[in-house]
Every structure is written in C-alpha cells, then in structure tokens.
Amino acid sequence: MKNNKDYFDSKRILITGATGLIGPWLVEDLLNCGSDVTCLIRDHIPDSRFFTEKICDKVNLANGDLVDYPSVERVINEYEPEIVIHLGAQAIVGTAKRSPLGTFESNIKGTWNVLEACRVHDSLVKSIVVASSDKAYGDQEKLPYTEASPMMGTNPYDASKSCADLISQCYGKTYSLPLSISRCGNFFGGGDLNFSRIVPGTLKSAYADEAPTIRSDGTYIRDYIYVKDAVSAYKVLAKATAEKQFHGEAFNFSNEIQLTVLQMVGKILKACGKENLNPVVQNKATNEIKNQHLDASKAKKILGWKSEWGIDDGLKETAEWYHNYFSK
C-alpha cells in the first residue's frame, strides 16, 4: 500500500473523537505527515493519550459538543477543514444500555450535525469519513457481513450505529457529499483505558498476576483490528473519497481473522508472557451478538488496503504499551 504522507502534508483536517482510543493514534500520524489538525473536544480526559503524551499541544483545540449544531458549524466555518474524519461517539455498550438517550444524542444527532455542517460548507470540505462499526449490521445469520448486508442493530449502541450509518449514506447520496463510511470490528491498542474490554482488561489482570475474566462463555466470535491498521484505513479512505468522489460509499476493514474470545485471550496472554494464567469464564453476558465478522474484499479491491500489523504484531506492541503504563 502506498505511503500517503505527501498527500496529507499541509492538509487542514478536522477530527472528532480525538480523545478516544483511535483518535490519538490518528492525530499523531497525521501530525507526522505535516497536516494542520483541528480537534473538536467536549471533555478534558486527563488519562487519554491525547493529553498524557502531549498530542493536544500540537493541534488546534476547539471546545464544543457534537450535539450542539452551532458549535460544530462554527468549527468547520472558522478552521476550514478540507478533510473531516468523524470518530466521535459514545462507544461503550454498557453505557448505551444504561442511558440510551445520551447515546442516541451523541451517536445519531452528533453525526447529522457534522454532516449538515459539512453540507452547508461544501465549498470547504472535500472529503468526509464517518466511523461506523460492524455493530451497525446487528445480529444476522448470513456471515461474513458484506457492505450489502442490511443495517439491523437492535440494542441501543448497535441501533445508534445503524442509524448514524444510514444517515451518512443519505447525506452522501442525496447531497452528493464526498463521503465514505468505515465499518470495523473491535479495536485494540495502547491507550484503551476501558478495562471492561477484553484486551485492556486481560492485560490489567495479567500484569497483576491474576486470572483474567471472560463475561461470556468464551465462544463468541469477533473481528479484532489493531489501532495502526485502523489509522491506515481512515487515511486511505479519506484520500480515496476526495479523489474518487465517493458519495455515501461504505467499506469494511478487517484482517479477516475470526477469533473466539478464548482464542483472543490466549493470544493476549502469550503476547505479555503470562501463558500460565487460566481465564475464568463467567458465562454472564447478555444481549450480545454471538458471531460477527467482516468481508473486507471491497476495501482490498477498490482501495488497495490490507492489514499491515495483524493480530499478533498488534498485540505485541499493545502488551508493551500496557507494561509501561502499569509500571509507572
């Protein structure tokens, strides 16, 4: 895959969701490419890599909330981004279940606010990438998901991603916005401090020499994608959207390796040298989709994208990051 560094040099780019898991890695990469990055920030999250590693000092920081349209429109009007990458969302399934309205506001209204501001300022914005998810597909018998699979999310988080995905398709196709949608599986990488997730949770237990716990029965199948593979996917998609003029096109990004939770935990323990620990299987998970995995052939064929780090290399780097984090 060609290096896109020259393309992003001096480009004005707006990132939402910069304090999450993917955001800091993407912002950091774009800064290394010479981009002029603006980040729309709602909350100051002191433990985010965005702040702890001083990435925030190298960008334009705009305070605002995605659900407040005037704030979003102001940022696009004043900072004049050529590229908008919309990562911002309430991304925790449990949080969504406890408070669906907040999740719907953030994930659905937040998305239409970004897209409406881009539509109003379409003379400025040349490329829009909206981060959707494999969760937008919901629970389906026919797997792997392809981009033609319907949006069928039923629990609050999944439904919010289905709605945001459909709204994004609507804006792209109806208003001919240069817009593409990414659909990825479960992200992992350094900086994820939501320890209810399988990768950081397992590493936290392992480095404390405690047996990791698995909420499900361990047989649930998922796609896992390393943060650096996700960053390359967003960059490739942002560039292609501007050049090929996609209007609401969706792309799955996956290394197409399907793992059960037990298999993933085994790989995590191997990566951190704690293979002697045996996970505790709680079998308490409810309202979760049993099997999910993606077909990424469209991204390979049209974008020339492929996973460069994969699971094992990604977990090795991730384990090193958490080893340093827990050693502080």
pLDDT of residue 284: 86
- For the chain, the domain total comes to 1
Assigned domain for 210 exists: no
For 65-124, write each residue's pLDDT tens digit. 999 999 999 999 999 999 999 999 999 988 999 999 999 999 999 999 999 999 999 999
247 or 3: which carries more pLDDT confidence? Answer: 247
pLDDT of residue 260: 97
Assigned domain for 219 exists: no
For 177-227, write each residue's pLDDT tens digit. 999 999 999 999 999 999 999 999 999 999 999 999 999 999 999 999 999
Band of the pLDDT at 1, cuts 50, 70, 90?
very low
For 20-74, write each residue's pLDDT tens digit. 999 999 999 999 999 999 999 999 999 999 999 999 999 999 999 999 999 999 9
**Would you call 274 helix, strand, or coil by DSSP?**
coil
Mean pLDDT of 300-322: 97
Cα–Cα distance measured from residue 238 to residue 242, given in angstroms and rounded to the nearest whole number: 7
Q: What is the CATH number of the domain that holds 134?
A: 3.40.50.720
Cα–Cα distance measured from residue 62 to residue 59, given in angstroms and rounded to the nearest whole number: 9
Question: Which tokens belong to 214?
Answer: 């698995």
Assigned domain for 193 exists: no
Question: Which tokens belong to 203?
Answer: 């590493």
Which of the 8 DSSP states describes residue 64?
A: -
- Radius of gyration of the chain measured on its C-alpha atoms: 19
DSSP 79-126: H--SEEEE------HHHHHH-HHHHHIIIIIHHHHHHHHHHHTTTT--
Is residue 69 among the annotated active site residues? no
Our measurement of the distance from residue 16's CA atom to the centroid of its chain's CA atoms, rounded to an integer in Å, reads: 11
Assigned domain for 110 exists: yes
Integer distance in angstroms from the first to the last C-alpha of the chain? 37
Assigned domain for 108 exists: yes
Which pTM value belongs to this model?
0.96
Its sign, for the CA torsion 214, 216, 220, 222, is negative
Looking at the chain, the whole-number percentage of residues with pLDDT higher than 70 is: 98
Which of the 8 DSSP states describes residue 324?
A: H
pLDDT of residue 285: 77
List 69, 157, 224, 226, catalytic entry? 157
Which residues, 6+ apart, have CB-to-CB distance to 187 below 8 Å? 21, 22, 224, 225, 226, 227, 230
Assigned domain for 104 exists: yes
Assigned domain for 262 exists: no
By CB atoms closer than 10 A (0-12, 13-18, 19+), residue 280 is: exposed
The residue range of the domain holding 81 is: 5-188+226-256+292-308
Cα–Cα distance measured from residue 116 to residue 8, given in angstroms and rounded to the nearest whole number: 24
Assigned domain for 196 exists: no
